[in-house]
Structure 1
């Protein structure tokens, strides 16, 4: 075994993704230990109910150098996060950071400061905040320096009645690097995030460099998220929206890909606002090449068929005149199975879905543009 190059051992172990197998490899030989540890500690979860990982990293500080993907759960009290503060200060090559489920104040001053410092690492390319309450404005400001930012049900700390000075970016603010922004409707909590990003006195580059935008738009957040879309219009190349109501799309001259996700109930009928939202694609996205329609369906028994209704306006028989959508190359219809609703065989449901889509888009028949697929798990959509 010693005659084989170490690089070969490293390459083989790098292909192992099961943690129990990696733990076993670490015990085989001295040469197996570093690559096994590197893969075991690439993704680390801190906080929550388990303190084992934080303890292991504290006892063996060299393991921190392997951490690339870090998750921090914030339930608990601030005294519990002192070990996390030390680890956050030590992680130098972090690539992805997820912080979720709790009040920002639970971190305490030491961990809060360490986490804000961590956001300034040049290696960090993705930040996700999920169900985090009362985040400081400084965190949102720092997040604009990260290429991919996802904010799901995030609320900002109260800024007071006169917010102008707090929203004004200081001269030392980091340069904007966000190119991919994901916003999830968190009710009124998401409105403050939009106001913060769009405040007139802030550097407009925070939104005018975004190339990919993903939005989950609720009834009350539509006007706020529409402002975000408009602010990104000049540079936006890909737009994905999951809307529960009618939205308004501005002219998006550079968008090449658009995704519209919609929930379908047991009656298999598209919501009334769907046709209007889709029709805007033709007038607002002159260069669009790919349209993806994701139908999140509650699969009733297979005998519940899709209703026979009129074609969608932009894909009716007149589509072949091609006065609009001149660059369109593909319309991809995805039937998305939500595992929490149904665990049975989706094939019969999908067999009804395909002809239903073809009947709604007669103008695409024979063009090779229309594609239908079944997505079995929600995270693959």
Structure 2
């Protein structure tokens, strides 16, 4: 086997997904050892309870295995033993690239988590190898953590409530690390949104948003103005934008955006929101270089009554018959319409034909151009 290239062994091991088989492969030969360990320990998930403590203990006993960990998923601990296990691992990983941290449903209070785990998490955010951070379902999150997150290229916040202390904000903005944020995702509802937005838009640190190239916003209509402020702050560098329909009531000029994704929810009557046509029409004037427009239509679960036809909608002005004159959207190459289910239990395949007809009737100017594409996103149960 020594005559065969190592790349071949790596490719073979990469096709194995069963942990028991991978453990056996690690015992076969030196050529199998490293790729097997990499596959076994590249991604580690720490939840709660004995399994997590056992995983952490095994890694503590064999610290050389920690060097393989690149992707780490953590459920914030609630007990001292779990906190010790989580903190130990966070402090020992040096090659981490992706970190996902979840609070317990519906959310966990930062102050209820052992200090050791919180401190270790903050330290981990300073790893130069860290490229992706996801924080979800936590309350009382200190501004220091949000500040540290801006030094990571890809960050997503979901249901994160900050601990508001304005004097601390000022100190952090003055000493914040150099921002490296390139892709920001804000997914939230309610009063948590303004706090994070106000922090990121603070006049003492405009550089937080001035390098963002990809922005994903999914917040409720009550906070749409904050979404607009974030979009405007990123306008000079933004190349990709994903928003829900409620967030685009007024789009600023985004001169460099090449791709936009619009999310919209449709009820049992299969009728698009009243302002759909008006909001979509903004794309022509606000995104002059747009090459791809993706429309993701989330549909309510199928109801007991017979399925109704999609109602006739007036053609979208920007995609009406005059579209072929090409006075706007000169760079447009694709309009991708995706039908996606909102509920987890319904098969929506039967609705797809109706969906395609509805999209074609709203975009008659795209017929025969090859620009319009419709697909069904209907995962198996």
TM-score by shorter chain over 0.5: yes
Aligned equivalent of 2:319, options 312, 315, 334: 315
CA–CA distance in structure 2, aligned partners of residues 179 and 6 of structure 1: 35
Deviating more after overlay: 107-116 vs 213-222 = 107-116
Tell me which residue corresponds to 1:325: 329
- The answer to whether the 8 A contact 2:194-2:223 is kept is yes
- The answer to whether the 8 A contact 1:93-1:124 is kept is yes
Tell me which residue corresponds to 1:238: 240
Aligned equivalent of 1:200, options 200, 203, 208: 203
Gaps spanning 5+ residues in structure 2: where? none
Does residue 262 of the first structure (1) align with residue 264 of the second (2)? yes
Q: How much does 1:164 deviate?
A: 4.8
Q: How does 1:141-180 map to 2 (within 5 A)?
A: 141-159=147-165, 163-164=166-167, 166-180=169-183
Tell me which residue corresponds to 1:44: 44
Gaps spanning 5+ residues in structure 1: where? none
Q: How does 1:301-380 map to 2 (within 5 A)?
A: 303-338=307-342, 340-342=344-346, 344=347, 346-377=348-379
CA–CA distance in structure 2, aligned partners of residues 272 and 245 of structure 1: 14
Q: How much does 1:190 deviate?
A: 1.7
Aligned equivalent of 2:145, options 124, 135, 139: 139
Q: How much does 1:289 deviate?
A: 1.2
Give RMSD over aligned pairs. 2.2
Q: How much does 1:138 deviate?
A: 0.7
CA–CA distance in structure 2, aligned partners of residues 116 and 150 of structure 1: 16
| TM-score (norm: length of structure 1) | 0.91
Q: How much does 1:211 deviate?
A: 0.4
* SS of corresponding position for 1:153: strand
CA–CA distance in structure 1, aligned partners of residues 173 and 342 of structure 2: 45
- The answer to whether the 8 A contact 1:210-1:236 is kept is yes
Q: Deviations over 1:98-117 (max 9, x none)?
A: 01112223442222222111
Q: How much does 1:231 deviate?
A: 0.5
- Summarize the Cα distance change of 1:244–1:118 in structure 2 as closer, same or farther, 3 Å threshold: same
- The answer to whether the 8 A contact 1:26-1:33 is kept is yes
Deviating more after overlay: 7-16 vs 266-275 = 7-16
Tell me which residue corresponds to 1:121: 127
- The answer to whether the 8 A contact 2:266-2:300 is kept is yes
Tell me which residue corresponds to 2:228: 226
CA–CA distance in structure 2, aligned partners of residues 170 and 352 of structure 1: 52
Q: Deviations over 1:350-375 (max 9, x none)?
A: 12211111001111112221111111
Q: Deviations over 1:215-237 (max 9, x none)?
A: 00212110111111111011101
How many matched pairs? 372
- The answer to whether the 8 A contact 2:271-2:310 is kept is yes
Does residue 15 of the first structure (1) align with residue 15 of the second (2)? yes
CA–CA distance in structure 2, aligned partners of residues 304 and 328 of structure 1: 32
